[in-house]
Amino acid sequence: MASSLVSLPEIERLSSRVIRILGGNPGKFTLQGTNTYLVGQGPTRLLIDTGEGKPSWLTSLQKVLSSEKASIDRVILTHWHHDHVGGIPDLLTLYPTLKIYKHKPSENQIDVKHGEIFKAYNEPPEDKKRECVDVLGPFTSTSMMFMDYKNPKLKSGLWYADIEAYYTADRDGDYELGVCVYGSAKVYINDELVLDITENQRQGSAFFGLGTDEDICAIPMKKGQTYHVRLEFASAPTSKLTGGSVDFGGGAVRIGGAWKIDADEEVRRAAELAKSADQVLVCAGLNMDWESEGFDRPDMKLPGHLDRLISAVAEANPRTAVVLQSGTPVEMPWLSKVPAVLQAWYGGNETGNGIADVVFGDVNPCGKTSLSFPIKNEDNPAFLNYRSEAGRVLYGEDVYVGYRYYDTLGRPVAFPFGHGLSYTSFSFASLQIQASSDDLTAQVTIKNTGKVAGAQVAQLYISPLSPSIRRPTKELKAFNKVFLQPGEEEVVELKASLKYATSFWDESRNAWVSEKGKYKVIVSDSSAIGEGAVEETFEVEKTKWWNGL
């Protein structure tokens, strides 16, 4: 055996009999005292027999496993390659207790029952002689977009794939499978057709508007039983849909599932459970299924029954806090019932640790909202203008977007722009303004008046007192963040260009204009000006028009 293979002593420590392929013929094997099957030949990786779309080692291994003389419980692929994975699902169907490893027997177990396998073909499933040209996986994500998938063995843009996985039921009940596809798809459970999305396709929002609306079916399942899920995919040219904001390559498919539940009963159970808890933390929000580039959300509501769940739990236990993960605001009809909301956004791999640090007080939060959170969707300044009608888009909100709109109309919001609470408190005092011909400089004293170290963001807004045209009530022109220990105070400076801070676009002169007159400077902790804000005024002596920077 070549030195690059797994050493025999390492194998012999695991079990009592080894079957080993020798030389260049995978059909030759020798019993050597353990129940591990070592697949490999020479210093190069195992040759692949594409005649049947399966590795040649699989045929040899099946002969060994079916032999009455051999009792094999593990297989080691000493020269692992992704092509090897193609035959593993079939093998594990016949031998469900078999363990297959790559390279080392102590790690790297290949477990296709915890992932999905992708196998590509040039011919449709009806062609019984078709050959597999590519095998990928196992994958843990069941959402696939083939915009950059290419394989030189695929002969055209029309190709096919089998996507296979296994699911072991942890309870009795109906399991709902849902599929969206850009292309076409059929889904089989244990070789029985349960979904056919080839001819009757409904336009959905998935895959930048190119995919189908989700098709759902319910599968009765029994606890402990393993089910073989196979999706037969055909690429984008087979799609019956038109439209979408973009067009790309081979298509896309997404398959997912969940146990079918009685929503009313689950909400009731959650409320009952909440009654017995000292404190409750409800984690809710959105994900890529509900918000993404390429399509608009139809509303601002949390999906499904989440609003009902939060309301019921909060009524059952007033000490309920809500953690929201979303990239945009959501309506919160239950807001008055909960004492705290933590907006976690999408923080990546460390989101969970970040949330835990804030919830348990290891970190004092100091973030600020980067946009206003409307109470309801209809409060949005772009509500009447956001979509295209008859090929035309109207930007009727003009400059009145975000807080500029809510301030000018005096319309309340759930959370204002720049808002963010802390485990401590701060005060603003002693605002001083200095305006030169070029710059506007403000200095304000910020003090940590609480018992915990933390950070505050001083936000400087400019409000014209007597503009010649209708203008927003105020606009943010500078901000600065300061970290303070309990009882510590610091003078914070905020600086802005005077012409940028005071100017607007004069359409009649096709130029920017900084008008003479008085302006109010407001330093606050958000765009909602409360009692803690500090104010001063300054005056521009002469009107000036300008272009460029």
223 touches 170 (CB < 8 A): yes
What is the domain-level CATH number for residue 125?
A: 2.60.120.260
Based on the domain organization, do 255 and 130 belong to the same domain? Answer: yes
pLDDT reported for residue 136: 86
Based on the domain organization, do 126 and 252 belong to the same domain? Answer: yes
Q: What is the pTM of this model?
A: 0.73
Going by C-beta distance under 8 Å and a sequence separation of 6 or more, which residues neighbour residue 474? 407, 461, 462, 463, 520, 522, 527, 529
Neighbours of 319 (CB within 10 A): 14
Q: What is the DSSP string of 266-319?
A: HHHHHHHHHHT-S-EEEEEE--TTT--TTS--S-SSPSTTHHHHHHHHHHH-SS
Residue 421 lies in a domain: no
pLDDT reported for residue 286: 93
pLDDT reported for residue 90: 63
Tokens of 193: 């057709």
Neighbours of 301 (CB within 10 A): 16
pLDDT reported for residue 52: 35
* Planar angle of CA 358, 364, 369, nearest 5 degrees: 85
Which DSSP letter does residue 132 get? E
Residue 1 lies in a domain: no
Residue 417 lies in a domain: no
pLDDT reported for residue 56: 53
Based on the domain organization, do 521 and 391 belong to the same domain? Answer: no
Residue 54 lies in a domain: yes
- In angstroms, the CA 47 to CA 57 distance is 8
Neighbours of 358 (CB within 10 A): 17
Based on the domain organization, do 381 and 277 belong to the same domain? Answer: yes
Domain boundary residue among 212, 232, 259? 259
pLDDT reported for residue 549: 85
Residue 414 lies in a domain: no
Query: What domain count does the chain have?
Result: 4
Residue 301 lies in a domain: yes
Which DSSP letter does residue 63 get? H
Which DSSP letter does residue 10 get? H
Residue 419 lies in a domain: no
Going by C-beta distance under 8 Å and a sequence separation of 6 or more, which residues neighbour residue 155? 122
Going by C-beta distance under 8 Å and a sequence separation of 6 or more, which residues neighbour residue 46? 26, 39, 40, 55, 56, 57, 77, 79, 81, 84
The tokens 């019932």 sit on which residue? 337
Domain boundary residue among 110, 131, 165? 110
Question: Peptide bond preceding 138: is omega within 30 degrees of 0, i.e. cis?
Answer: yes
Based on the domain organization, do 78 and 206 belong to the same domain? Answer: no
Based on the domain organization, do 182 and 273 belong to the same domain? Answer: no
- In angstroms, the CA 402 to CA 68 distance is 75
Block means of pLDDT (10 residues each) for the chain, length 549 residues? 31 34 34 41 30 50 61 57 55 67 44 74 94 86 88 93 92 95 96 95 88 95 93 95 76 93 94 95 90 83 95 96 95 96 92 93 94 95 86 89 94 96 96 92 97 97 95 96 97 96 95 96 95 95 92
For the beta sheet containing 475-484, the strands, ordered from the edge strand earlier in sequence to the opposite edge, are 475-484, 454-464, 517-524, 534-540
Tokens of 150: 């290419």
Based on the domain organization, do 490 and 452 belong to the same domain? Answer: yes
Tens of pLDDT, residue by residue over 327-377, are 999 999 999 999 999 999 998 889 999 999 999 999 999 999 999 999 999
**Residue 68, domain extent:** 8-110
Residue 77 lies in a domain: yes
What is the domain-level CATH number for residue 432?
A: 2.60.40.10
The tokens 């940590």 sit on which residue? 448
Amino acid letter, residue 169:
A
Based on the domain organization, do 376 and 508 belong to the same domain? Answer: no
Based on the domain organization, do 38 and 139 belong to the same domain? Answer: no
Based on the domain organization, do 320 and 285 belong to the same domain? Answer: yes
Based on the domain organization, do 137 and 99 belong to the same domain? Answer: no
Based on the domain organization, do 270 and 403 belong to the same domain? Answer: yes
- In angstroms, the CA 136 to CA 116 distance is 9
pLDDT reported for residue 77: 59
Domain boundary residue among 409, 443, 459? 409
